[in-house]
Structure 1
């Protein structure tokens, strides 16, 4: 035996060990470990992919927006443009007019004084006015002004005041100030002045004119902010192409990647925590359902390990599909994912009701992976239910293909229903037809993958599926052929026990196929010494008549250990070996015990010395086989098997097994045992019915010839 075979055998023995199957700590580790692995596998499906591009790089994939988000760069550009269109805000200041009038009045008032003072020379008068005159008043204007009399100066002051008032009483901005000379000239057209007076007034008024519009920074900023707020947000819509494959990365692309959360940055701890809570809720509900199942449907640690592996396998498939989408693949590939495969595997390997429950959780994972898509969740859930239902009773491998076609049909109907109710894409028949085609392929793929994966679980964990049982029931199996050729009586006995066990199992909720196939192999150990068993003795010569009862006991009971050895060597699954090991339990060989007691003169014979080694049956199937084996042997030995006598024998056998404690470790109820009696009677009536005695043809011919 090579190293790999040694390791495989050691692992198989460890998995079959009750210490592993029933250990509570291992069970807790399986729950926690499966949940952690599922979280690590699936968390990447809800987190958006991250890219670490630089401006000027070429994108290796086409990137689409996974969500609808605000395009911050485009929105900001629109708002900046709106703010730039808002003019600066000004307010008219009366103080500018008052200051200008004051300067005009001061200059002309001083001019009246200096011209009235005869003691001042011309130069002193000009110098005196230059000291108080605005800087822009020219020297020639001052000279002309001191050359006038007081009445003329007063007239010019009045005209200057009126022009200043007319110009500064209304908005007078910087642009108007630059055209002050022209504006003053237009105003003076309303007055009858000579040329010198016009020049004086124009120069004085222009020198005092200043913009009366005061800039308001706060009001300007408020107006710009209001204009910015009025600009609506620009959006990046879900599914919109941000950058195509082989396109150059720009600032705009980087900005959009940041907006939709695709640019590499710190992890989104909110999503991580939220998905952890999501998985914890689903995992807790599933664990509660598993732990609250009845004893007859309870999962041991090996079954829990298998369930965990199937769920992890489904999670990996979901992760791969999402990875293809993230890498630039079409989102429609989601409809190609064989989601019903998980439910089909769980149904065949474990239990249909468990498959229906887990289908709910895997469908929720699937929908969450693709943006919490309710449509995908619904299609996955319904197809998984149909897949589990159609493979609940497998009679041949063609059952899986039938299931595949039904799953495809349901997926097509679900996709069509969701498409018609989608107001956004309901009219896109090209997309709908693509989804329908992929959904149909996904349904068929589920069946094909289930058929392909089943042998792995059967071989790796020694599981006994319906398909495996059907294969083992083939009469061409080497062990069955050996049984038929070397122990034909035992072979016939096994067939009848199989019929009895199957009928009983159907009534009490056990596995009928396991009971039938287990019955075929339960006595293969008799092929080692077939003539020591009465059903194989063709003559009245019985070898036990020539040996001691203790040796007879050893030979008879050894067929159990011999059978176990043969079954293990043939690689038979554990449930078949368990049936072989327990089909006699620890019952007593009463015939040889009585024979030994009669021959014992000292009274040293003990009844426990003539018991089978056991163990006692621990499952319904093993208990059913024990009873059926005893019933068939007892009824076959009856000389006149009338219905009343047969029923009495059956009830006595069941009563003896109960009183001897042989059924203490299994979960058969008294109601189950009573129902089994009816099943036995119906089956035995068809086997040991009364027959018509046909006349001898040769005798009839002789009588006719006379």
Structure 2
């Protein structure tokens, strides 16, 4: 048991990676939608590449969302408006008319029989006018139903009456009666009229909803065994609808019973394979990152973040899947690591999402192309304009890609979903969130981005101000080295901002004993004259250790501290070694060597060359082109012979390019001119 625990402790880094791998695979599969995957991939307008397909089950042909929406629109457009017939209004009008006529006829010359006839005529006219009812205003709708005595009866537009039309109808009816005194009756009735048909919004909406609920979401059945499509046939619009219906039916039934466990196993295997590829890539090509659990966790966290966001969108808002700013992933990874890793992780993430998104080929194609554009265009993100330009190009790629796929599928430009262009614009705006996201990741995972490097390069920062006060010569030397190293990095395509910051801080350890370094000695007094060579060498070598301690106290990122550790590699403090050798021929050279490690990147190798060349150039007297050329060649050759660049991924061609830049810069520093003949 104890031996097992010891093995776990010794290999805890590897155990953590196994744990991270298993948890990530489990979480990704957990996020996936709980449905199977149709085994055929098809697109409208493309030939069917598989064998003849016969219906494996009975299924219904589903209507498209457009067809359903069209039916719903038709129902609302052709709806019947319901109006309630208020009988109490008619009773009230009859009463008012009767009272008014009784009063007026009492004082007239009519006998009782005539008065009775006129009253009956008036009530008859009122009943005629209110047979279908009177609207306040003539409705625009042509389909009207009047609810009278709890029964709805359709009303023809020819029978629509408002108060004005009702008054005309009263006059026409009385004129046809040809009764003495009808004009007086007409005036009384017209003055007493009131509308009695009122819009019943509740009943109208209820009727609409009832019709909407009766809409069928299918149109026809396909019997088991029926030929759906033959091999080589083009997937036409109708074929596409049938295949889509079969896919939906198949996927909904597949994730049931024992099928569930097989599908789950399949997802686990596929996701596990994809993430194994990531581990293999890191192990083979990015061993430094692979050995750093913090960086590995950061990469897996970003993959999980994108998978979670996309799967949630697939579950709830499938049509807006392109809102998820997947290009943030390569942006962030390129900013913290390199372009190749960023693109590789992006492609693997897109492959994982291809299992669950609709139109997977289209999705994978667009996302990979957008990722490549992101890698090719996004550089120096600390410059705000660069991010906006990159996001604009990404958005344009999405729009062009969608336009091309639509043209292929439809064969025309009809039915373009214009809202998708808005989705792509939203995607671009969300991609701009990469900047604050990078800042958050820096604080959470302790990583360094170009934005942080820009802040660290400020010579007014606390630590660099302290260096300029305590060791002004070293500060000036650091500035010169930074200029040389930055120019060399730009020449070979290395991270110029990183190497510049590393150069500015590489000698901060000299603040502990500034006068023991020649660039800070302002008099002819050299404190090394009073020290044995071995002790002098120790003071010189210790500036590396002191610098690392100072950097850690000031929370300088490890990525910058790497330059402090490696800028002398395992070279020898040759001057004091030779002095000690004169005193003791058997001296151990290892006690005069820097602790290392040797440079392990192009940037740290550039700094080593630039630092050595700049420091030694102070000893040049009356330099010429030939002297500078020989001088640089000698220093770099000595470093190569000491195997200082074995671990740095810098080629001989790049070293030659660096030497060329150093020679040119030194020539400019010493203001050399071409010597013209007299």
Normalized against structure 2, the TM-score is what?
0.61
Q: Specify whether residues 654 and 30 from structure 1 end up closer, same or farther in structure 2 by C-alpha distance, changes over 3 A only.
A: farther
Q: Contact 1:550–1:592 (CA<8 Å) still a contact in 2?
A: yes
1:316 equivalent among 308, 312, 318: 308
Q: Which of 638, 650, 667 is the matching residue for 1:685?
A: 667
Alignment of 1:269-284 (within 5 A): 269-283=261-275
Give 1:335-414 correspondences, 5 Å limit. 335-414=322-401
SS in 2 for 1:638: coil
Alignment-derived partner of residue 484 in structure 2: 500
Q: Max radius of gyration: which structure?
A: 1
Task: For residues 240-286 of structure 1, give each alpha carbon's deviation from its aligned partner in whole angstroms, at most 9, with x where no partner exists.
Answer: 99xxxxxxxxxxxxxx9999449986663453344344435544555
Q: Which residue of 1 aligns with 2:528?
A: 544
- The answer (yes or no) to whether the contact 1:71–1:259 under 8 Å persists in 2 is no
Deviates more, 1:298-307 or 1:629-638: 298-307
> Could you say what secondary structure the match of 2:32 adopts?
helix
Aligned to 2:125: none
**Partner Cα separation in structure 2 for residue 637 and residue 239 of structure 1:** 81
Which one of the candidate residues 483, 488, 498 is aligned to 2:472? 488
Please state if 1:590 is matched with 2:582: no
| Aligned counterparts of 1:332 and 1:40: Cα–Cα separation in 2 | 22
Partner of 1:437: 422
Give unpaired runs (5+ residues) of structure 2.
Answer: 1-9, 39-56, 63-222, 229-238
Map of 1:171 onto structure 2: none
Superposition deviation, residue 20 in structure 1: 8.2
- The counterpart of 1:451, out of the listed 435, 460, 469, is 435
* Cα distance in 1, alignment partners of residues 386 and 330 from structure 2: 15
Cα drift, residue 43 of structure 1: 5.3
Distance 2:522 2:429 in 1: 55
| 1:315 shift after superposition | 0.8
Bigger Cα displacement from structure 2, 567-576 vs 25-34: 25-34
**Residue-by-residue CA offset, 1:387-410 (whole Å, 9 max, x unaligned):** 222224435244223222222222
Taking the TM superposition and a 5 Å limit, the aligned residue runs for 1:687-706 are: 687-690=669-672
Aligned-CA RMSD value: 4.1
The yes-or-no answer on 1:70 pairing with 2:59 is yes
- Counterpart contact for 2:330–2:371, Cα < 8 Å: yes
1:42 and 1:369 in contact (8 A); partners too = yes
- Residues 620-641 of structure 1 show CA distances to partners (whole Å, capped at 9, x for unaligned) of 3223222221111111221122
* Distance in 2 between residues matched to 1:45 and 1:492, nearest whole Å: 66
Is 2:475 aligned against 1:475? no
Match of 1:674 among 634, 653, 656: 656
CA contact (8 A) 1:379 1:414 kept: yes
Matched residue count? 476
- 2:542 maps to 558
Number of the residue aligned with 2:155: none
The Cα of 1:557 is off from its aligned counterpart by 2.0
Q: Please state if 1:39 is matched with 2:29.
A: yes
Structure 1 pair 587/423, CA: closer, same or farther in 2 (3 Å)?
closer
Q: Report Cα offsets for 1:541-571 as digits up to 9, x if no partner.
A: 3232333433322322222111111111122
Query: Post-superposition shift, 1:440?
Result: 0.8
Q: Tell whether the 8 Å contact from 1:411 to 1:440 is kept in structure 2 after alignment.
A: no
Cα distance in structure 2, aligned partners of 1:446 and 1:523: 39
Aligned to 1:517: 501
**615 and 367 in structure 1: CA distance in 2 versus 1, 3 angstrom threshold:** closer
Structure 2: how far apart are the matches of 1:231 and 1:302? 57
Q: Indicate whether 1:631 and 2:623 are aligned.
A: no
Aligned to 1:103: none
Aligned counterparts of 1:678 and 1:569: Cα–Cα separation in 2: 37
Cα deviation for residue 239 of structure 1 reads 13
Q: Which consecutive residues of structure 1, in runs of 5 or more, have no partner in the other structure?
A: 1-18, 49-67, 74-227, 242-255, 326-330, 693-706
3-state secondary structure, aligned to 1:690 = coil
**Which string of whole-angstrom CA distances, capped at 9 and with x for unpartnered residues, describes residues 433-457 of structure 1?**
2111011111220221x11221233
Q: Which residue, 510, 535, 542 being the options, matches 1:526?
A: 510
Deviation string, structure 1 residues 635-658 (Cα, Å, up to 9, x no partner): 122112222112222222223223
8 Å contact from structure 2 (residues 35, 254) kept in 1? no
1:43–1:275 Cα contact (<8 Å) kept: no
Contact 2:37 2:251 in 1 (8 A): no
Counterpart mapping for 1:216-231 below 5 A:
none
